[in-house]
Amino acid sequence: MTANRTEEIDLRSDNGAPVAPEIMAAIERANHGSAASYGDDAISGRLTAAFRELFETDLIVLPVISGTAANALAISQITPTYGAVFCHEHAHMNTDECGAPEFFSGGAKLVPVPGEHAKLDPDALTERIQMNAEVGVHQSESASLSVSQSTEFGSVYLPDELRRISGIAKDSSLRMHMDGARLGNAIDRLRCTPAETTWRAGVDVLSFGATKNGALAAEAIIVFDRELAEGLERRRKRAGHLISKMRFVSAQLEAYIADGLWLELAGRANRSADALAVGLQKVPGVTLAHPAEANEIFLSMSNQLAEGLEKSGIRFFPWPGERDVYRFVTSYCTSSEEIERVLECAERIGREAH
């Protein structure tokens, strides 16, 4: 192995990765001649059929360029301005989107629900929904629910877990949204079809992420119930998310789902995460803060070890609000050499500390 030891290894986020070659090639292919703007081009025209095939059902697909836009637009479709959205207290939309769901919905209320490893606890969820109902007109109307698959803490809902959540949602007539910014990683882990962990599990609207998994800037809002898509195109337009040269966003999504590329990329990230999680847990004092089921690993470790890794050029993310917890994220292009080097460093620092 001749990896350059002085180069940084960036495990802060999968957002830091470059565009996958297949997707960049698609952008370049799209760049010939003139095309109708605002989504009336040929590539955009092919997207619906491609996503229908992927999800094995009728659906509406609208490309946007960020996960926050996808989430917030989706939530605003299924939550009136006077509505409440139940979501995990650590859901990305509650902690990292600067109030985007509140903004897009015109002031709907996110009701944070607890649960281990960023998965909604069904009992806590039921309790919050019941409490909301008791308050009547004095509190926002229970309207929708959002789950993340995989979750903000790198865990993955099992089919039974998801069905239990969606059962609660349906019992209270809540529409269900899934934040699938890292859906590919979850599906790779579950070895299920995209349908199984989305609409067949009760999801009405999906934020289908590609950017964290190799795209340049491309996400898709996927609406499984046509009636829920009414007005969505205008919402996207007035939020500034109807890209004029849409062909370049659509081209990314088309390449992303063609021939299983997205699952191939997600699988690579997951394999790297697995190797990293297994290896790091062997270092004394290092434990998983959450199950490492996708491409995010949350580790409890000593300040000493964290500093040592940083000094060795390994970049990762101290988790806000939790002392001694650090997040490592692998991407489709994290190499086995990089993983090896991280493990070597950690082992060395661990040895020196004892």
Minimum distance of a second copy from residue 340's CB (angstroms) = 17
Question: By C-beta, is 157 or 248 nearer to a second copy?
Answer: 248
95 part of the interface to a second copy, by CB under 8 A? yes
49 part of the interface to a second copy, by CB under 8 A? no
* Footprint on residues 249-278 left by a second copy (CB under 8 A): 249
Which amino acid makes up residue 85? V
Q: Using CB under 8 A, which of the segments 183-191, 227-235, 281-289, 339-347 binds a second copy?
A: 227-235
Minimum distance of a second copy from residue 209's CB (angstroms) = 10
317 part of the interface to a second copy, by CB under 8 A? no
Selected from 59, 87, 90, 102, the binder of a second copy by CB under 8 A is 102
105 part of the interface to a second copy, by CB under 8 A? yes
Which amino acid makes up residue 146? S
- Give the contacts of 127 (CB within 8 A, at least 6 positions apart): none
Instruction: Give the span between the Cα atoms of 144 and 124, in whole angstroms.
Output: 16
19 part of the interface to a second copy, by CB under 8 A? yes
97 part of the interface to a second copy, by CB under 8 A? yes
98 part of the interface to a second copy, by CB under 8 A? yes
239 part of the interface to a second copy, by CB under 8 A? yes
Minimum distance of a second copy from residue 124's CB (angstroms) = 12
Selected from 107, 159, 284, 285, the binder of a second copy by CB under 8 A is 107
Place of tokens 């698959």: 149
Q: CA end-to-end span of the chain, whole Å? A: 28
Minimum distance of a second copy from residue 66's CB (angstroms) = 5
* Footprint on residues 62-91 left by a second copy (CB under 8 A): 64-70, 72-73, 80-82, 84
245 part of the interface to a second copy, by CB under 8 A? yes
47 part of the interface to a second copy, by CB under 8 A? no
Q: What number of residues does the chain have?
A: 354
112 part of the interface to a second copy, by CB under 8 A? yes
Q: With contact defined as beta carbons under 8 Å apart, do 113 and 125 qualify? A: yes
108 part of the interface to a second copy, by CB under 8 A? yes
- Give the contacts of 214 (CB within 8 A, at least 6 positions apart): 17, 19, 20, 22, 23, 256, 261, 262, 265, 331, 332
Nearest in space to 209 (alpha carbons), one of 247, 165, 265, 158:
265
204 part of the interface to a second copy, by CB under 8 A? no
Q: With contact defined as beta carbons under 8 Å apart, do 306 and 222 qualify? A: no
Tokens read off for 268: 């690579």
Selected from 18, 45, 159, 284, the binder of a second copy by CB under 8 A is 18
Binding-site residue total for a second copy (CB under 8 A)?
A: 80
Selected from 10, 179, 188, 296, the binder of a second copy by CB under 8 A is 10
Question: By C-beta, is 47 or 201 nearer to a second copy?
Answer: 47
Instruction: Give the span between the Cα atoms of 100 and 267, in whole angstroms.
Output: 30
Selected from 1, 2, 138, 354, the binder of a second copy by CB under 8 A is 138
